[in-house]
Amino acid sequence: MTLDQHLLQTLIDIYPNTVSFESFSKHYTCSKDDFLEAGRILQIKDYPISHTNNHFYLTIPLISEAKLNRLTKNTKTHHPFIVKEAIPSTNTFALNSFSSFEEGSVILAHHQTKGKGRLGRQWSATMGKSIALSLVLRPTIDSQSLPLFTQLTAAALCQALKAYGDTQIKWPNDIVLNGKKIAGILIESQFQENQLEGLVIGIGINTHLEHEDFEDSLLHKATSLKIETRQIVDPNVIIADFLTVFDQFYSDWLKTHKTYPFISVCKKESALLGKEIHVFSPNEPPKAATVKDINEKGELIVHYQGHAQLTPLQSLDFSVRNSQNGYI
């Protein structure tokens, strides 16, 4: 590891305390100039660090492998954590080396340079100010069950984020807080010779993004936990809480194949049930509809204006928007 990586690790481990040259040089042989240079490198890389009187400190907590291991020691599934500094996308990283990751592995990055959103969109966030997580799973399922995983994940994420406010689920894959998006889910599958080898469950959570970190076009529809709660949150606690709830839903589903436990959460916490929406599908004009239900397959049941029957929508094909304010 380079000196700046050692300094980063030290800052992560001792957050919120400061690191002085005197304490750092007890563990890592270096001159004071080397120490200051290491701190400057981290600042140039955009890590959220500050300094005062030649002490460095993190302004917000970052993902810590040691803390995650501590917080998840009692989860139902064992989760090996792989924490990267900056990579294009945790989902791409997981998919590219899929066979090398064991079930339950969690790939995390302080920064993604080419984060992917649903329907081919981009997902970008400032260094250290959001959670980028990819969970590797190898369930023996057919690809028709895939949309269910978005609902299972949304239910777990919504419950884990309840600690920060009245979070809701905007079918199929958004978690919203106070009417704006706080987190998104992108599930990708890995096939080998037409056989489903496994899944990568990608989750992005806006933790400490400020207004200026969002593009103007997103300001009216996206937000962060910091903006909404005016508090510093610990990404490690959020990740551990999410994995705890996820593991419970997932292990129950593997045993029973009953979807009620998580679909009932999706319904209870739905931001769309009963609402007038517009349904967007590729190559078609948006269609006005009323949301009636979410069924046991995780499909959104809508009533299109002028239609006699209800129509189920699968999450892979559609996005929906509220008819009034354009987002929820």
Contact between 236 and ligand BTN by CB under 6 A: the answer reads no
* Residue type, position 40, single letter: R
Identify the sign of the CA torsion 40, 45, 51, 57.
Answer: negative
One of 10, 64, 72, 89 touching ligand BTN (CB under 6 A) = 89
Contact between 105 and ligand BTN by CB under 6 A: the answer reads no
Comparing every residue's Cβ against ligand BTN, the nearest one is 184
∠ CA 263-246-259, rounded to 5°: 25
In the complex, least distance from residue 205 CB atom to ligand BTN, rounded to whole angstroms: 8
**Number of residues in contact with ligand BTN, rule: CB under 6 A?**
21
Residue with Cβ nearer ligand BTN (15 or 123): 123
One of 203, 245, 279, 291 touching ligand BTN (CB under 6 A) = 203
One of 39, 48, 61, 115 touching ligand BTN (CB under 6 A) = 115
d(C-alpha 126, C-alpha 117), whole Å: 15
With contacts defined by CB under 6 A, name the span among 128-136, 159-167, 238-246, 251-259 that binds ligand BTN.
128-136
Contact between 10 and ligand BTN by CB under 6 A: the answer reads no
In the complex, least distance from residue 118 CB atom to ligand BTN, rounded to whole angstroms: 3
Give the DSSP H/E element, type plus range, for residue 137. Answer: strand 130-137
One of 64, 72, 105, 134 touching ligand BTN (CB under 6 A) = 134
Q: How far apart are the first and last CA of the chain?
A: 46
One of 71, 82, 95, 133 touching ligand BTN (CB under 6 A) = 133
Contact between 315 and ligand BTN by CB under 6 A: the answer reads no
d(C-alpha 281, C-alpha 296), whole Å: 22
With contacts defined by CB under 6 A, name the span among 68-76, 87-95, 152-160, 256-264 that binds ligand BTN.
87-95
What one-character-per-residue DSSP string does 46-105 give?
T-SEEEETTEEEESS----HHHHHHHTTTSSS---EEEEEEES-HHHHHHHTGGGSPTT-
Instruction: Give Cα 189 to chain centroid, integer Å.
Output: 17
d(C-alpha 244, C-alpha 205), whole Å: 17
Contact between 204 and ligand BTN by CB under 6 A: the answer reads yes
Residue with Cβ nearer ligand BTN (10 or 173): 173
One of 67, 79, 111, 116 touching ligand BTN (CB under 6 A) = 116
What is the signed CA dihedral for 92, 94, 96, 100, rounded to 10 degrees?
A: 170
Distant-in-sequence contacts of 160-167, Cβ < 8 A, 24+ apart: 160/238, 160/241, 160/242, 160/244, 160/245, 161/205, 161/225, 161/238, 161/242, 163/241, 164/225, 164/228, 164/229, 164/233, 165/228, 165/229, 167/269
One of 7, 87, 137, 185 touching ligand BTN (CB under 6 A) = 185
Give the footprint of ligand BTN on residues 136-165 (CB under 6 A): none
Residue with Cβ nearer ligand BTN (205 or 289): 205
Contact between 90 and ligand BTN by CB under 6 A: the answer reads yes
Instruction: Give Cα 212 to chain centroid, integer Å.
Output: 20
Contact between 207 and ligand BTN by CB under 6 A: the answer reads no
Which residues are near ligand BTN by CB under 6 A?
Answer: 89-91, 112, 115-118, 121, 123, 132-134, 173-174, 184-186, 202-204
